[in-house]
Amino acid sequence: MHIIAVGAGPSGLCLALLLGKAGIKTTLLDTGSTIDDRPRAAHYAPSAIRVLRAAGVLEDVRRLGFLPGNMTWRKIDGTPIASIKDTAETRGPEGLTVLPLNLLGKVLLDHAEKNTNITIKWNHNVVGVGQDDTSAWAIVRAEDGTETKYSGDYLSGCDGANSQVRKSLFGESFPGKTWDAQIVATNVYYPLDKLGLDEINNIIHPTDYYMAAKITRDGLWRVSYGEDPNLSHAEVVAHQPAKFARMLPGNPKPEDYKLTNVGPYRIHQRCADKMTVGRITLAADAAHLCNPFGGMGLTGGLVDVGDLADCLVGIDQGLAEPQILEKYCEIRRQKWRDVIDPISSGNFIRVSATDPERAREVDPFLEMVKKMETDAVLRKEFDDSVYDICHDFKQYYKGAQRVTANELKL
Ligand SMILES: Cc1cc2nc3c(=O)[nH]c(=O)nc-3n(C[C@H](O)[C@H](O)[C@H](O)COP(=O)(O)OP(=O)(O)OC[C@H]3O[C@@H](n4cnc5c(N)ncnc54)[C@H](O)[C@@H]3O)c2cc1C
């Protein structure tokens, strides 16, 4: 079997590694000249760690990254409201792991470059896709206008939020909403842990809400805060020192910290109408988006590609019918709708639109987190619930005990 994957971002690379382990060849086509190193994801939940392990990269991810300590919700003056208490030991073998996306991308790329089943073609801008009864293809347009067709048995769009694969299938339709907010993701060296913060903090405030988390062992922090959506990029950059002085512990001036990135983003909750159309599938940001509070974007994307790999390997090995890809579409969209969308939306509303003085009274989640500090049974239920976005697609393989006769007849 040969797969065409559009996009050599984290989801495309991870998909190729999972398929490569099963002997399936993947050609990755990417419009960039190398991996995208904008400051985006850094936290990967246990469900994604499981996929990174299956792809054979977890050891390197853990070597470069780390297992963070407590995650705490606070008032802007630092007063804790509720905390998920953790240490490297309690996080366990599949525990939430921190590694900035540019470094995760490098790990995935290093492994992919060593895998003879994977071919990566940079500077390959995909402008359209197509399919017939036996194959699917991407059309790549070079700068001089010449077009080349890359064909495989199946094609997967892993080409991010502005996915050309999705647009080729559905035009501009990407159902959902854009929040009336602008988030500014900054990377900064400023020792917030010495100023009373934990390694992950969510600060609840009507205008100066933010998330502050340590993202490298050498003391780089991600501070993502809300800004007026009407401000231009230049205005956001100009406002940043005043924002930091007002909201961060120690009220720092620019000479007190070293800022390495400022990136404003609009945030969305969107999911494509379908993640499978015949031989073409969508995964990760190409298929769905959520706001970054709670780190569910790439986590959900990695779970997608883990599931997609199980489906394609099943088809390749004669263990599954091609219709299993319809099941992929149904289940992955359902997981976005029932788990990722409500939880990530709740995370954003919690920090940006909750009265910090009454947070535990009005927000049952925070009340539960507070109870979990002393209730081990509740804590165990919470720890188990982080796998709610997972699904076992091997149950639909032929001969699998749990498969029912009509399971794949959608
Ligand atoms: C501020 C911020 C913080 C975040 N924090 C977290 C977090 O902590 N945890 C988490 O899980 N998620 C987080 N996310 C979300 C996460 O970054 C994304 O979900 C993830 O990067 C999506 O990966 P992807 O592979 O789907 O797409 P991308 O990373 O966007 O990769 C897409 C690739 O496709 C290529 N491409 C695009 N168009 C074409 C084309 N036409 N032809 C060929 N190639 C093309 C691009 O060059 C790129 O290499 C965060 C996002 C933001 C903005």
pLDDT in tens, 117-169: 999 999 999 999 999 999 999 999 999 999 999 999 999 999 999 999 999 99
Is pLDDT of 360 > 90?
Answer: yes
Predicted local confidence at residue 322, as pLDDT: 97
Q: How far is the CA of 399 from the centre of ligand 1 (A)?
A: 37
Q: How far is the CA of 286 from the centre of ligand 1 (A)?
A: 9
Nearest Cα residue to atom 3 of ligand 1: 40
- To test the pocket of ligand 1, the residue of 101, 210, 224 to mutate (highest count of ligand atoms within 8 Å of its CB) is 101
Tokens of 349: 């509303």
Structure confidence at residue 410 as a pLDDT band (50, 70, 90) = very low
In the chain, where the domains are located: 2-66+98-176+269-351
Q: How far is the CA of 271 from the centre of ligand 1 (A)?
A: 15
Q: Which residue has the tokens 């030991």?
A: 89
Q: How far is the CA of 292 from the centre of ligand 1 (A)?
A: 12
- To test the pocket of ligand 1, the residue of 148, 285, 293, 339 to mutate (highest count of ligand atoms within 8 Å of its CB) is 285
Q: Ligand 1: residues within 6 Å at CB? A: 6-12, 29-32, 36, 40-44, 101, 125-126, 158-160, 164, 185, 224, 265, 284-286, 292, 295-299, 301
Q: How far is the CA of 299 from the centre of ligand 1 (A)?
A: 11
Predicted local confidence at residue 402, as pLDDT: 53
Is pLDDT of 269 > 90?
Answer: yes
Q: How far is the CA of 185 from the centre of ligand 1 (A)?
A: 14
Cα 92 to the chain's mean position, in Å?
21
Q: How far is the CA of 184 from the centre of ligand 1 (A)?
A: 16
Is pLDDT of 405 > 70?
Answer: no
Predicted local confidence at residue 399, as pLDDT: 83
Is pLDDT of 91 > 90?
Answer: no
pLDDT (tens digit per residue) in 12-40: 999 999 999 999 999 999 999 999 888 89
Domain 2-66+98-176+269-351 classified CATH 3.30.870.10?
Answer: no
Q: Which residue has the higher pLDDT, 401 or 37?
A: 37
Is pLDDT of 407 > 90?
Answer: no
Is pLDDT of 228 > 80?
Answer: yes
Q: How far is the CA of 107 from the centre of ligand 1 (A)?
A: 15
Is pLDDT of 404 > 70?
Answer: no
Nearest Cα residue to atom 47 of ligand 1: 32
CA 125 to ligand 1: nearest atom: 42
Is pLDDT of 403 > 80?
Answer: no
CA 32 to ligand 1: nearest atom: 47
Nearest Cα residue to atom 50 of ligand 1: 41
Nearest Cα residue to atom 44 of ligand 1: 30
Q: How far is the CA of 401 from the centre of ligand 1 (A)?
A: 37
Looking at every residue in the chain, the average pLDDT score rounds to 95
Predicted local confidence at residue 401, as pLDDT: 57
> First and final CA of the chain: distance in angstroms?
25
CA 267 to ligand 1: nearest atom: 53
Q: Which residue has the higher pLDDT, 43 or 92?
A: 43
Residue 219: C-alpha distances to residues 18, 186, 194, 328 (Å) = 32, 14, 11, 40
Is pLDDT of 409 > 50?
Answer: no
Can you tell me the mean pLDDT for 255-270?
96
Q: How far is the CA of 284 from the centre of ligand 1 (A)?
A: 8
Name the nearest CA neighbour of 299 among 32, 110, 45, 19: 45
Is pLDDT of 408 > 60?
Answer: no
Is pLDDT of 263 > 80?
Answer: yes
State the SS3 of the chain.
Answer: CEEEEECCCHHHHHHHHHHHHCCCEEEEECCCCCCCCCCCCCEECHHHHHHHHHCCCHHHHHHHCECCCCEEEECCCCCEEEEECCCHHHHCCCCCEECCHHHHHHHHHHHHHCCCCEEEECCCCEEEEEECCCCEEEEEECCCCCEEEEEECEEEECCCCCCHHHHHHHCCCCCEEEEEEEEEEEEEECCHHHHCCCCEEEECCCCCCEEEEECCCCCEEEEEEEECCCCCHHHHHHHHHHHHHHHCCCCCCHHHCEEEEEEEEEEEEEECCCCEECCEEECHHHCEECCCCCCCHHHHHHHHHHHHHHHHHHHHCCCCCCCHHHHHHHHHHHHHHHHHHHHHHHHHHHHHCCCHHHHHHHCHHHHHHHHHCCCHHHHHHHHHHCCCCCCCHHHHCCCCCCCCCCCCCC
CA 13 to ligand 1: nearest atom: 25
Nearest Cα residue to atom 38 of ligand 1: 159
CA 161 to ligand 1: nearest atom: 30
Nearest Cα residue to atom 52 of ligand 1: 40
CA 284 to ligand 1: nearest atom: 26
Q: How far is the CA of 388 from the centre of ligand 1 (A)?
A: 22
Predicted local confidence at residue 330, as pLDDT: 98
Name the nearest CA neighbour of 250 among 195, 305, 213: 195
What is the spatial distance between Cα 373 and Cα 403, in angstroms, rounded to a whole number? 40
Residues 6 or more apart from 167 whose CB is under 8 A from it?
A: none
Is pLDDT of 357 > 80?
Answer: yes
Is pLDDT of 191 > 80?
Answer: yes
